[in-house]
Each structure stands twice: as C-alpha cells, then as structure tokens.
Amino acid sequence: MISVPVGIRKRTEVGRLLVFVAAATASAATVGAITGWLGSLVLRITPELHFYSLIGLAGVSITYGTAELHSAKWRVPSRTWIIPKRWALLGNVPFAFAFGSVLGAGFLTIITFIGYHVLLISCFSLADWRVGGELMSIFGLARALPVLLTPITYSRFGMYDAKAALQADQWFTKVQGRLWILRSMTLFAMAGSSIAALTR
C-alpha cells in the first residue's frame, strides 16, 4: 500500500511514510483525548459510573483473556470495513494522511482484538484527556509500524522483490499468531489492576 523509498524519489517516499506514521499517531491520540475528556465530563455528573466501568473492564479482560489462551476467536464489536486497495492508486501525501488517520482512529476499520475497547474504556474511566491521548498514541504508532515493515526492508536492498514481499507477509502472520500469549497476559494484568482500583 505504501510505496518503497528507493531510487531518485527516495526523499519524497520517506516523507510520505513519515506523514503516514504521524497521521496514525495523531489520529489515535485525538480519539484517546476525546474519550478521556468525555470521561471527565460524564464522571463528574455520575461518579458511580467509574465503579461500573472498572467492573466491566475486569470482566471483559478475564473472559477475553481466557478465550485468547484457548485460541478462540470471540466476536469483537467492530465495523467490518477495511481500507480499499484502490486508495493506494492515489499514492500521494493526502492518501498517506488519510490512510494513517483512518487506521489510527481504529473504530473506522475492522478490529479483531478486544484490547482496543479495553483501552477506550480505560481512557474513559481515567477521565484525563492528556493520559488518554498519550495511551492511544502508543496504539496508533504500534498499528502503523507493521505497515512500514515492507518499505523499510526494501529500502535496505534498494529494490522491490515480490517473493521477499510474500515472505515478509508470511513472517508477520507467524509473529501475529504467536502474539496470543502477550494479548492474554496484558488482558489478565488489566483485570488485576482493575480489581485493585475497585478495592481502593
């Protein structure tokens, strides 16, 4: 989707990649900041909602964490839309910006892991726009980085190779398949810290 920064247009392509990463990070940070700000507004009026959001966090984290251990794919509330491949034909800076923004926001595209919802509920219950923005910017950055994997690899070799592209894709799928343990651990840790917050 993002072209390869090699040859005479290298500088332009690197610029596009940076626009993409910045847009994804900023978009995610905006979503987190708005959620945190909404949380501060709502929790000021109804403080008891904080208690219920923590219970919800703990429950969701334990159930989905166990499902991850079982390699069970439970339904995650999400849109089914993915960024159309034809967008890549535009291939300019506005495309990189739009692609990054849509990807970073998260809720506009398909989400397969419950962690996104857990993060948003956490931003809401933390009721701090700055912390919410910072947390979600990590999500945006982490979501943007794998897209850069292929261009960065090719920039080292100075050429595009379809076979290597396929291999990179297979490698990434393999790594993702092994991420279940980290997903489960972080969800369980989330459950533990939510219950600790409940007892405070």
176 touching another protein, by CB under 8 A: yes
Count other Cβ atoms within 10 Å, centred on residue 157.
11
Is 114 buried (19+), middle (13-18) or exposed (0-12) by CB count in 10 A? buried
Q: CA–CA separation, 82 vs 168, rounded Å?
A: 21
Extract the tokens encoding 138: 């990590």
Tokens 């897209």 -> residue: 147
Q: Which of residues 46-65 bind another protein (CB under 8 A)?
A: 62, 65
113 touching another protein, by CB under 8 A: yes
83 touching another protein, by CB under 8 A: no
Q: CB–CB of 126/197 below 8 Å?
A: no
106 touching another protein, by CB under 8 A: yes
Q: Among 4-12, 33-41, 42-50, 109-117, which window interacts with another protein (CB under 8 A)?
A: 109-117
Count other Cβ atoms within 10 Å, centred on residue 25.
21
Give whichever of 6 and 45 is closer to another protein, judged by the CB atom: 6
Q: Which residues bind another protein (CB under 8 A)?
A: 62, 65-66, 69-70, 82, 103, 106, 111-113, 115-116, 118-119, 122, 131, 135-136, 138-150, 168-169, 172-173, 176, 179, 181-193, 195-197, 199-200
